[in-house]
Amino acid sequence: MIEIKLCGLKEPSHIEIAFNLGIKYIGFVFFEKSPRFIKKETAKSLISLSPPGIIKVGLVVNPTDDFLNSISGLGLNMLQLHGNESIDRVKEIKSKVDLSLIKAIGIKDKEDLDLVESYSKVADQILIDAKPNPNNRLPGGNGIKFDWQILENKSWDFPWFLAGGLNTKNITKALAMTKAKKVDLSSGVEDSNGRKSMTKIINFVKKIRKYEDNLNVG
C-alpha cells in the first residue's frame, strides 16, 4: 500500500479525516515564513488530539539546537529537515533528538540525485521535492513539480517520499513514472493559501487507491 503524508495541518478536522482515510503521516510546519506555519502551542494541542498510530512529523528549516530543545516535548515522532542542512548537521541533529529524521532534497536534474544518495546514509527517510527557485522564500510547499523522468528506473533500498506539486490531476502519472511507495502532499489539496480542502484530500486518496486497485487487477 502506498503510504501518504499530509503536511501543513492546522485544524483538528483535518487530522480526523487523515486518520479515517488511512493516511500514515501528518505534518506540522514550524517555519514562520510558510502560510502553513503554526505555533508550538497550537501544534502541541493538535498532536494531543491525534489518534494513536498516526505518525506526527515536525517540519523544520535549519533548526538551531535551542529550537530543537523547544519542540522536544510536543509529542512528535519524526522531524523533517527542509532546509540546507549539511550531512554533518543531519548527523548532529540525529545525535541530539530521539526522533527519526526525514531529509528533504530539492532536485531539478539527474545530477541532484547524488545528494539523495549521500543523505540517505545519514537520514532515516528521504523526501524528494522540486528544487525551489533561488528567489523563492519557501524551501518547499510551492506547488511546483519536477521532471519525474529523472526518477524512472530508480529502485533505492532506502525509504523515500515523492513530493512537489502533487494533486488529483497528476498523481496517477507521477506514481506510474516513479513507482513511488510514499507520497507527500500539501499545497495540492488546498483551496487557498494554506487552507486544506476536505474534498481535495478525499479525492487525492481515492486516486491513489484506484491506482493501486488497477495494479492489483493487472
Residue 82 and residue 62 in contact, taking contact as beta carbons nearer than 8 Å: no
The reply to whether the predicted model has a pTM over 0.85 is yes
Tens-digit pLDDT profile for residues 73-113: 999 999 999 999 999 999 999 999 999 999 999 999 999 99
Using CA atoms, how far residue 40 sits from 30, 36, 47, 57, in Å, is 8, 13, 10, 13
Residue 58 and residue 74 in contact, taking contact as beta carbons nearer than 8 Å: yes
Q: What is the mean pLDDT of each run of 10 residues along the chain (218 residues)?
A: 96 94 97 94 96 96 97 97 97 96 94 94 96 63 79 91 95 95 95 85 97 85
| Nearest-angstrom CA–CA distance, 218 and 213 | 9
